Structure 1
Amino acid sequence: MGLPTCVDRSVFVHILICMFGTSSWLAVNGIWVELPLLVQKLPEQWTLPSYMSVVIQLANIGPISYTLISIFAPFILSHEKVIILFILMIGASSCLLLSFFWEYTTFIAGTQHSTALLILEFFLALVDCTSSVAFFPFIANFKEKYMTSYFIGEGLSGLLPGLVALGQGVGVVNCINITKTNFTNGSWINTTGNIFPQYQQPNFPAQDFFLFLFIITFMSGFAFTLLGLMPQFRSEMSLNNNVCELVYSRKDSELTSSATVTTSIDSTLSPCNCTESVNNGQSVSHLLNQDDKISDDECQEYKLASRSIKPKISPSLYAYLLLLTATINGISNGILPAIQSYASLPYGNKPFSFSVLFGIIANPLACFLAYFFPTKNIIYITVLTILGCSVAGYDLTLAGLSPNPFLRGKKLGEILLVLSWILVTGFFSYVKVCIGVIFRTQGRRGLLWYGVVTQAGSAVGSIIMFVLVNVLKLFTSAPMC
């Protein structure tokens, strides 16, 4: 067995981590793209999204609790894999129950409400919100290159439901002209009526769509189980970055020279002498296959190599990157989803559909781009963030001018609309990956705080837009036809 075996394993780890990442926001994204079908069947109709927004914010009790426990009682989270598997089981079970009970309603205070949908959505949102603080630290157990694979999977959590909903025919609207006949002056006269939207019947029911979400969540849990249990993948863990080379290629000189760089040792690393614990209680000899014995000298080399390539960023830069993360997620996860219909509908149903579809496609594509062309240059990251905020400002302006934004009814306006949603998603998705990779170099605690501010920024953005849209009613929706 030689070094190529380690390289071959990495392909499977990339795939498994990508599959694991699809569960991060799959359920919440799935329910949102299914809304045009749900509002036709449920009593809340188009007030349903406001109820769902409140439920999702209540689910933030999950990441808040997880963060507090990790700070004040970290021993509770010692069985990290069991906790994550339990979270995924809640998500899969909720999707399965949703497929059978989503239409179930009850009377509350004399009004009919979608009780089953909202209760199950709370548990799904609990899973998705908690994933921001639970999944990132787990990914820190693996090499830095796998961080992008997780973000690709996170992008697919929006893309896959969107493509399935597109095949389902959800949200396809036909504008029909209804002619009225009135009896005037002793005769029947046909008068031209108003144009009304009529939703196209879906190609398959909502039950099948939720079963699809269950299957994907189950596969994500299966991928996570393989990552945690298969001993063949231990060589791809971050503390083993150089063990594979030490055992198979003996390139000791490179590792020794790299250790001369002055760096900060991650708090999760302990001195390695082949008998001492280095990774959650696992010794080096345990992390390796039984046939892969290494000498004490090689183990010392591993100790030196493990200490390298862990540069510590300054507190000011740390705070700046956290601020950027909160801002980006507040805009992309809170503000933009709330104003997309206001910004897009004035240009017609097709531009609206294209802006949604190409926007969710741009997310995983930007993550692929970050994998092949990564950057840790803070200036580049800042410039791309400014560009993303500028494009987001354009979309926010369109929403504020609704139902009569500029270039309405013109092809140029439709092109700029769709292009703006592609660019804003692309810029922000690329920057999220780059910042995530930087925090990955700071170990598990860095990724924990990255997840915390990701969720906090999203929550603040959602709350602000809920007040502006539903309380202050600052935006006016354009008619669908």
Structure 2
Amino acid sequence: MSLLTHVLACLFGMGSWVAINGMWVELPLVVPEIPEGWYLPSYLTVIIQMANIGPLFITLMHHFRRGVLDERPVIYCIVGLGIIATFLLAFFWRHTVTLGGSLHSVPLLVLSFLLSVVDCTSSVTFLPFMMRLRPQYLTTYFAGEGLSGLVPALVALIQGVGVVHCRNATLAVNATMVDSGALEAVYQPAKFSAQVFFMFLSAMMVVCMVAFILLNHHPAVARERKSDLYFSGDLAPGKREQRLSLHAQTPEQKPMISPRENAKSSFGKGTYSNLEVLFIFIVLAWVNALTNAVLPSVQSYSCLPYGNKAYHLAAAMAAVANPVACFIAMFMPIRSLIFMGFLTMVGTGFGAYIMAMAALSPCPLLVHSAYGTVAIVLTWILFVLTLSYVKVIIGVILRDEGHSALVWCGAIVQLGSMVGAISMFPLVSVYGLFKSGDACNTKCPM
């Protein structure tokens, strides 16, 4: 294996969702400067789902014009669009336009939509492109995809986004400032501006483009590349045997739910029965709904009652857990569907605890105890760790089934995320079922 190819695959994966992840972590600095205020997260949720028009088009093209669409020109276009959009965002995110008699951040919303199209479309183009490389590099790509959330979060922490200090609130009484007896939250000024942060995101997209160019043209990578016969499963069913499998090992690793050896499907190589394929896609949609939409939408509600440090620690360590799960999968690729189902149930259990604490906010269990802080941080880490491992293993399994399988993998990822986001939007933003905890003044019974 080539170390250079591993590095390039990781950097290429980092460009998949770095722009939108960066937008989310920068919200505390952006929101006070725009007329939409804290309605912006709700707008972003809708915009990201609208951007699924990109994955829908690519998936339909693969389905109805099988083997015609080459991902490489599409990737060049969307990564180039990401570079331009993040660069323009650095200069125009604060600009407003008068619509219907009120100010709106039209440039910010339009550029956010373009970035959403870039990132959503990466799910159905980046993964199939990785079919051109040897199987080992797919896990490295997933590690880079995990870093696309971690790296912007670390830069935002260095920037000082969302760091709160509590101080005594004062009131003016007869022109004299007196202590009100309450505490107020004061946000620490950022070490550098949102413009610099968006320029950093643009640089990350440039790195992704350079990595992609080298993956296509560097001589060292060419030795790690498979033949273009990787399309053969889509073009000539009679030649499927020519495609290299993920592991040259025997079928002993083939996980079966049904004991019937002849219960094959027409999906991919026919390794799995129709029931098993359905199970894999249901798990994939469920896991991505939880990790990409449902639980992130209530992260602040589940963590902030335990303090600002608990919130930042949970967010940072959960972001670290994603690439860690990818590295574990690199050395321990357990492809058993039974084990996958078990890990999914365990991860869902951790998610249920997180959701329960969010529902109990601002007074969740053990809110005044260090044990409560440890529990919520550890639960977030284990939640992301287990379900990220499941996502990687499903990607590994579908990668072995051929090019079209990875296209459908990306489509199901987006579908699950969309359903999760649509389900949580009314609960969080319309009906207000979750209540935020005040980092300084929340009073809960002991």
TM-score, length-scaled by structure 2: 0.89
Cα gap change, 1:24/1:397 in structure 2, threshold over 3 Å: closer, same or farther? same
C-alpha distance in 1 between matches for 2:383 and 2:344 = 9
Deviation at 1:348, TM superposition (A): 1.0
Cα gap change, 1:345/1:306 in structure 2, threshold over 3 Å: closer, same or farther? closer
Residue number in structure 2 paired with 1:283: none
Deviation at 1:409, TM superposition (A): 1.2
> Of 348, 353, 357, which aligns to 1:398?
357
Decide whether the 8 Å contact of 1:42 with 1:114 is kept in 2: yes
Residue number in structure 2 paired with 1:225: 213
Decide whether the 8 Å contact of 1:266 with 1:307 is kept in 2: no
2:73 equivalent to 1:82: yes
Q: How does 1:103-252 map to 2 (within 5 A)?
A: 103-183=94-174, 190-239=178-227
C-alpha distance in 1 between matches for 2:413 and 2:79 = 20
Bigger Rg, which one: 1
Cα gap change, 1:306/1:462 in structure 2, threshold over 3 Å: closer, same or farther? closer
Residue number in structure 2 paired with 1:294: none
How big is each residue's C-alpha offset from its partner over 1:149-203, in whole Å with a ceiling of 9 and x where there is no partner? 11001001001101100100111111121222424xxx97945243221111111
2:341 equivalent to 1:353: no
Residue number in structure 1 paired with 2:274: 315
Cα gap change, 1:464/1:306 in structure 2, threshold over 3 Å: closer, same or farther? closer
Range moving further from structure 2, 50-59 or 24-33:
50-59
Residue number in structure 1 paired with 2:265: none
C-alpha distance in 2 between matches for 1:402 and 1:46 = 19
How big is each residue's C-alpha offset from its partner over 1:14-72, in whole Å with a ceiling of 9 and x where there is no partner? 11111110111100000000011111212222121111111111111111111112212
> Of 332, 346, 366, which aligns to 1:387?
346
SS at match of 1:474: coil
Letter in 2 for 1:460: V
Deviation at 1:116, TM superposition (A): 1.2
C-alpha distance in 1 between matches for 2:363 and 2:242 = 64
2:30 equivalent to 1:38: yes
Q: How does 1:281-292 map to 2 (within 5 A)?
A: none
Residue number in structure 1 paired with 2:260: none
How big is each residue's C-alpha offset from its partner over 1:221-252, in whole Å with a ceiling of 9 and x where there is no partner? 111111112344233223499xxxxxxxxxxx
C-alpha distance in 1 between matches for 2:7 and 2:278 = 32
Decide whether the 8 Å contact of 2:67 with 2:234 is kept in 1: no
Residue number in structure 1 paired with 2:52: 60
Residue number in structure 2 paired with 1:466: 425
Range moving further from structure 2, 229-238 or 43-52:
229-238
Deviation at 1:303, TM superposition (A): 5.4
C-alpha distance in 1 between matches for 2:48 and 2:352 = 25
SS at match of 2:233: coil
C-alpha distance in 2 between matches for 1:308 and 1:397 = 41
Decide whether the 8 Å contact of 2:81 with 2:114 is kept in 1: yes
> Of 90, 93, 96, which aligns to 2:84?
93
SS at match of 2:192: coil
RMSD between aligned residues: 2.3
How big is each residue's C-alpha offset from its partner over 1:72-98, in whole Å with a ceiling of 9 and x where there is no partner? 2346513x2111111100011111111
SS at match of 1:179: strand
C-alpha distance in 2 between matches for 1:396 and 1:476 = 12
C-alpha distance in 1 between matches for 2:17 and 2:381 = 20
Decide whether the 8 Å contact of 1:359 with 1:421 is kept in 2: yes
> Of 15, 19, 28, which aligns to 2:7?
15
Decide whether the 8 Å contact of 1:143 with 1:237 is kept in 2: yes
Cα gap change, 1:110/1:315 in structure 2, threshold over 3 Å: closer, same or farther? same
Decide whether the 8 Å contact of 2:246 with 2:400 is kept in 1: no
C-alpha distance in 2 between matches for 1:401 and 1:358 = 23
Q: How does 1:259-278 map to 2 (within 5 A)?
A: 266-267=233-234
Deviation at 1:480, TM superposition (A): 2.9
SS at match of 2:103: strand
Cα gap change, 1:179/1:308 in structure 2, threshold over 3 Å: closer, same or farther? closer
C-alpha distance in 2 between matches for 1:35 and 1:181 = 32
Q: Aligned residues: percent identity?
A: 43
Decide whether the 8 Å contact of 1:182 with 1:188 is kept in 2: yes
2:319 equivalent to 1:375: no
Decide whether the 8 Å contact of 1:234 with 1:240 is kept in 2: no
2:419 equivalent to 1:452: no
2:65 equivalent to 1:73: yes
C-alpha distance in 2 between matches for 1:157 and 1:26 = 4
SS at match of 1:178: strand
Deviation at 1:422, TM superposition (A): 0.4
> For this pair of structures, how many residues does the alignment match?
418
Decide whether the 8 Å contact of 2:139 with 2:330 is kept in 1: yes
Decide whether the 8 Å contact of 1:133 with 1:452 is kept in 2: yes
- Structure 1 gaps of 5+ residues are 1-6, 242-264, 273-277, 279-301
How big is each residue's C-alpha offset from its partner over 1:386-425, in whole Å with a ceiling of 9 and x where there is no partner? 1100000000000111111111111000000100110001
C-alpha distance in 2 between matches for 1:431 and 1:308 = 18
C-alpha distance in 1 between matches for 2:244 and 2:438 = 62
Cα gap change, 1:305/1:230 in structure 2, threshold over 3 Å: closer, same or farther? same
